[in-house]
A and B are shown apart, each in its own frame.
Chain A
């Protein structure tokens, strides 16, 4: 082992600089400009010193720079703890550490700091490109660490060595990843700011709020159905239910955790599926109507919406069961029904008048009123569009009678308003409708532009009934997709468009890869681990037998690698192997071959000791000498040698 205090060579300095630059570069976008520039300046300074072979800065200057850097980070973030300030501090320390790179000890410390900062990248993003970039950085840093102990090889050779070492470490990494006992949730708390700008449904709905979402092709969640995917028209993903209306906005009312189990029963066959929900920063969990089971750590609100105990800040996976047909809320509580007919005192007189006429005609027959309302909506010839005109104070009236153009929230809001005005309990349900099956991996992908709003009416004897007023005017929105429903020429998100087939195909593939990464790498949680181990025949894994399996497998991989290396190093000449068999046979007869003995010398001695085999021994030894030491080895001779030795029975 080389001495730890030997000076760092120029080449080693270049290597470590390369490692530090590769480590810091991907982190740069996370920091304010002054910090990125300061780190770049320190690295460039070191590069100049290496180039010119000048002396490193004195220690007092470095101490001052460290103090200045720490102060700068503190002033920027008001703390030196936490994710961004901590990583920023480490970046500054790494850049300054290079300026005091004097001995091999410093070189190793620098390389280890680089390794740590590579991990730091994952505190910010965990996507596939980040992982690929981290692999590249890892390779350069490993080469730098190798160069710290031996800087003679050329850069290419150094990189190849580093690559080989990392490749040898790969089986261990996979084993540790699969088998190391998992903890629930991320290893370190990801701060809140990560989801500050996430788009998605909110707990209020006003005209235009969902139309806004229709411009986003971000993924809301992915669904894997256990059996057949239900028809598109049944894919109503129930989200926030909004029973409260103030004249402009529909709101969620706080009824968290009303039920621990579903208070209704389904009809017909249930549908089983698994949702992988992208983080959206809210509490609700999306479920196919109507949810038959509840995910872990969640409860059902009084309006049948599953909500989690904690806001969804990490990608969440849960299995669910749904009843496409269910009777719910026949004996709904009075206060809920009362709340579901509340309207502001005034406004929208025209629709109020029509609703009053229905009420007068049908009385308490809510089913008849509902039919009348549906009939009315279909006769109004409303147009489904992504660009509805702005509405004034009496927005329901304006929509139904003047502009007649709206997006799903206009339809749902107007329909519920009309029913309430006629005394029928009704509420707005927001969520997603439909989704798109990725043919590559079979996942149903629901994107933000699938956001939708529909109505629920309470009919005596039938309970809550889903009515989708959008479907009345634009049935293709429900049976097909957004592009089918809106008039041609309207601006749609790229992925919602019907043309550009090749782009969609590409996007399907990328999305399948990204989904696989989410499902199996980022989403490899204790549950996934248990399932995987169970499918491998290991039931009830606890950390003890997992550790045991882990050590056994790591040992096996280690042995395998060692055997592979030894095999390459000690590849035995087939002639020598045959000769060893021959000498082993003679050794059993008491004629031991000395490892330093040449074939002829041994043959002479063996022939003296076993005269009856003298001829065979002499022939074998002569053959062996010719095959192993003679010029132009002939295949026939080797085969003959092997045959003679096989036939030799002393």
Chain B
């Protein structure tokens, strides 16, 4: 049975991000699976809006970091400043101390600034000047990046890309959606008018429910042979890591919950697969730019259900 709060959240987002039901749903699934989200697409297709909307409807604090090439780690994490009155250093938390961080155009920053963010993503805590500070719960990073072949970008290395559970692409809207967008109200006002559908505590409960979604032995077999196929097939430089497999299963669980089911079906795995493999499987021919949906479809069709 479908959960009404999730349907309401999806409906809210889809009212603002028009004609992108699938990426929107994937993004929500990613957050329900406690993963960080990477949105990659051309400038101006609604990446930032999507991140913003997600934070608003989930009722989470939201900070935005615009990454630039002259950015320093302190700009992300925060800095200690000497307070003349008290005669001591006081830590001024950076923009990362929030529930949802929108890391805009992450690949325009230098690797130094990128790694400051990515370490925080993995550890869910920040260590500066010898002191460790926990990040709030829940904590999401929604990063956007321009396609790496664009000018002025520092591509993220595979190890850091792997920390993003899912990568979604938005793409141009179709004609009808675009027309509605053009004819409709101002998106910024609409976002500002959004009211949270759930409280942060409810989000944590939903995340727990995702973890409880049943994955049968037959389904785990399927995930395993999919991963095994990526490791043995000659198309890719390296196959899916065990962390990627865990992620695939987690997102598939969230997808099943969004569909109102208490168990994962192969369809769930197949639906989220493009988002899992898009930033992880690198083709042997490095220069070829491949559509993750096409790659995922080929992979799915090459692996029969066990």
Q: A: which residues have CB within 8 A of B?
A: 573, 576, 594-601, 625-626, 628-631
Contact = CB atoms under 8 A, between A and B. Distances in A.
Contacts of A598: 265-267, 270, 305
B262 A595 contact: no
Interface in B258-286: 262-267, 270
A474 to B, nearest CB: 83
Given A573-B218, A595-B305, A628-B218, A601 B267 contact: yes
A631 B300 CA distance: 24
B219 A596 contact: no
B303 A628 contact: no
A598 B305 CA distance: 8
Given A630-B262, A630-B263, A596 B218 contact: no
Nearest to B268: A598
Contacts of A594: 301
A600 B265 CA distance: 8
Contacts of B214: 629-631
Given A595-B304, A596-B301, 10 more contacts: A595-B305, A596-B270, A596-B305, A598-B270, A599-B265, A599-B267, A600-B267, A629-B263, A629-B264, A631-B262
Contacts of B302: 596
Interface in B217-231: 218-219
A625 B301 CA distance: 19
A26 B263 CA distance: 63
Contact of B218 (A597, A600, A601, A629): A629
9 contacts: A576-B218, A594-B301, A596-B300, A596-B305, A598-B265, A600-B267, A629-B218, A630-B214, A630-B216
Nearest to B267: A598
A599 B266 CA distance: 8
B10 to A, nearest CB: 19
A594 B265 CA distance: 16
Contacts of A597: 305
A571 to B, nearest CB: 12
Chain B interface size, under 10 / 10 to 19 / 20 to 34 / 35 or more: 10 to 19
A573 B306 CA distance: 10
Interface string B242-271: 000000000000000000001111110010
Nearest to A631: B214
A629 B306 CA distance: 12
A451 B103 CA distance: 109
A600 B305 CA distance: 13
Contacts of A601: 267, 270
Contacts of B266: 596, 598-599, 629
Max chain A C-beta neighbours (<10 A), residue from B218, B262, B300, B305: B305
Nearest to A604: B267
A596 B301 CA distance: 6
- Give the most central of B214, B263, B265: most A CB within 10 Å: B265
B304 A629 contact: no
A626 B219 CA distance: 12
B277 to A, nearest CB: 15
A130 B300 CA distance: 60
A118 to B, nearest CB: 42
Contacts of A600: 265, 267
Nearest to B266: A598
A629 B265 contact: yes
Interface in B187-231: 214, 216, 218-219
Contacts of A629: 214, 216, 218-219, 263-266
Contacts of A628: 216, 218
A600 B264 CA distance: 11
A52 B300 CA distance: 55
A629 B219 CA distance: 7
9 nearest A-B residue pairs (beta carbon): A595-B304, A631-B214, A598-B267, A598-B266, A630-B263, A629-B216, A629-B263, A601-B267, A600-B267
A569 to B, nearest CB: 13
Contacts of A576: 218
Nearest to A633: B216
Most buried by B among A596, A601, A625, A630: A596
Nearest to A625: B265
A576 B221 CA distance: 14
A601 B216 CA distance: 18
B263 A626 contact: yes
A219 to B, nearest CB: 62
A594 B262 CA distance: 25
Contacts of A631: 214, 216, 262-263
Contacts of A596: 266, 270, 300-305
Contacts of A599: 265-267
B253 to A, nearest CB: 12
Among A595, A596, A626, A629, max chain B CB count under 10 A is at A629
Contacts of B262: 630-631
A600 B268 CA distance: 10
Contacts of B304: 595-596
A500 to B, nearest CB: 64
Contacts of B301: 594, 596
A618 to B, nearest CB: 14
Interface string B287-303: 00000000000001111
Contacts of A630: 214, 216, 262-263
A601 B263 CA distance: 15
A312 B142 CA distance: 97
Contacts of B218: 573, 576, 628-629
A573 B262 CA distance: 21
Nearest to A599: B265
